[in-house]
Amino acid sequence: MRVLCITEHSDRPEAETIIGLKRHGVDMHVFCPPGAPHLNRFLQSGVQTTPFNLTGRINVRAIRFIRRWIIEKKIDILHLFNNRAVSNGLLASMNLPVRIIVYRGVVGNISCFNPGSWMTYLHPRVDRIICVSEAIRRFFLNKKCLWMHFPSDRPVTVYKGHDLDWYHDQPVDLGQFGIPKGAFVVGCTGRSQPHKGIHILVDALCYLPKELPIHLVLIGKMNAPALLKRIRNSPRADRIHLVGFRSDAPALQAACNIVVLPTLKREGLSKVIIEAMAYGIPPIVTNAGGNPELVENGVSGIVVQPGRPQEIAQAVLRLYEDPSMLKQMGQKARERIGKCFRIESTIEQTLRLYESLCP
C-alpha cells in the first residue's frame, strides 16, 4: 500500500503516527516544508520526504507536481492534513483512482454556502474525514445541505495519541515571572482570539477571594488590544502574568497547579490540555467542542459551561481548597492520557482505515 501524506506543520502525534504506519509495512511518503518540526524524525525512521511548500488554496505548480507523483508512484491513498493540502490535493487527484483521506481538527467553520468548503471537506471525492474528536464527527453528521444529508460513513473519529514518555522535562521555575513561592498557579495556553475565551478566564479571577495567593499565567500570543485592556483594568491585574509564546510551554504548564482552557466554541481536542494531563496537572475545560471527551468530570478534571466566569472561579476554588482532590485528580488525568489517548491506538485505527479503503 502506497500512501502520500501532505502536511505543513506536523505535530508530534501526527509525525509518530506516520512513522508507526511505516513500521507496519505501509509505504509512507511525506510532502512537507524543508523546516518541518519533525523532519529529522522522519528521516531517522526511514520515512521518505520531499521538500514541499504550499502557498495558496489553489497552486497550479503544486497541483501538477502532486498529480504527477500520484501517477508515477502509483499512490493508493492521498492523506491530506490541512486546508491547503486538501484543496490542492483534491484538484490534483481528479479522475485518478486514488482514495482521499483528510484530517479535521476543529468544530464548525464549514458551510454549504461557502465555495471553499466544497473545495475541501464537502467535496464528493473525499472518502474519509479523520476527526480528532467525536464532537467534530457529530458536526458533520448533523450537516444538511438543502435536502442532502452528509454521508454517515465519511467522518471517522480517531483521537491523536500521545506517549507519556514524551513528557519528562523538568517544570519551569515560575519565579522568573514574578510569581511568589507558594502561590497557587493557574495556567492557560492559547491565543487571544475571542472564541478562545481568555477574557472569560481573566474575569473569573475577580470572583476569587482577593486574599488567596492565586495567580494566572497566560502562555502564548495574547496581544489582542481588547484582551490587554481587560487585563490592565482588572482588579487582579497584579496576579496576571503574560509570558508570551514559549517553546517550552508544556514544561511551563507542568509547573502550574491546574490548567484552564475557557474555550467558547470550535475546539477540536486541545493538545495543550493533553500535555498538561500527561504531566499530571488537572484541567478545567468548558463543555465546548471535543475537550469534554478528554476529561471525566470530577475524576480527571472539571468541566464547566462556556462563557461563565463564576463557574470557572468555583472550580478553581474547589481544587485550591482540597489539596487531596487536586493531587488525586492530577494522577487520574495522567492515567487517562496513558490509557485512552495512546499513540499506538491512533496508529492501529489509521491502519485499519487505510485497509478498509484499499483491501
Residue pLDDT, tens place only, 168-182: 999 999 999 999 999
Same fold, 2-161+342-357 and 164-340: yes
Residue 113 confidence (pLDDT) above 90: no
**Between 112 and 327, the higher pLDDT residue:** 327
Residue 36 confidence (pLDDT) above 80: yes
Per-residue pLDDT band for 146 (boundaries 50, 70, 90) equals low
pLDDT at 99: 98
Residue pLDDT, tens place only, 280-289: 999 999 999 9
pTM confidence score: 0.94
What is the average per-residue pLDDT within 323-336?
A: 98
Per-residue pLDDT band for 46 (boundaries 50, 70, 90) equals very high
Secondary structure (H, E, C), the chain: CEEEEECCCCCHHHHHHHHHHHHCCCEEEEEECCCCCCHHHHHHCCCEEEECCCCCCCCHHHHHHHHHHHHHCCCCEEEECCHHHHHHHHHHCCCCCCEEEEEECCCCCCCCCCHHHHCCCCCCCCCEEEECCHHHHHHHHCCEECCEECCCCCEEECCCCECHHHCCCCCCCHHHHCCCCCCEEEEEECCCCHHHCHHHHHHHHCCCCCCCCEEEEEECCCCCHHHHHHHHHCCCHHHEEEEECCCCHHHHHHCCCEEEECCCCCCCCCHHHHHHHHCCCCEEEECCCCHHHCCCECCCEEEECCCCHHHHHHHHHHHHHCHHHHHHHHHHHHHHHHHHCEHHHHHHHHHHHHHHHCC
Parse the chain into domains and list their residue ranges: 2-161+342-357, 164-340
Per-residue pLDDT band for 165 (boundaries 50, 70, 90) equals very high
CATH of the structural domain 2-161+342-357, one choice from 3.20.20.70, 3.40.50.300, 3.40.50.2000, 1.20.1250.20: 3.40.50.2000
pLDDT at 200: 97
CA–CA distance, 64 with 2 (Å, rounded to integer): 19
Across all residues in the chain, what is the average pLDDT? 95
Instruction: Classify domain 164-340 by CATH number.
Output: 3.40.50.2000
pLDDT at 270: 96
Per-residue pLDDT band for 38 (boundaries 50, 70, 90) equals confident
pLDDT at 127: 98
What is the average per-residue pLDDT within 296-301?
A: 97
Per-residue pLDDT band for 187 (boundaries 50, 70, 90) equals very high
Residue pLDDT, tens place only, 217-261: 999 999 999 999 999 999 999 999 999 999 999 999 999 999 999
Residue 147 confidence (pLDDT) above 80: no
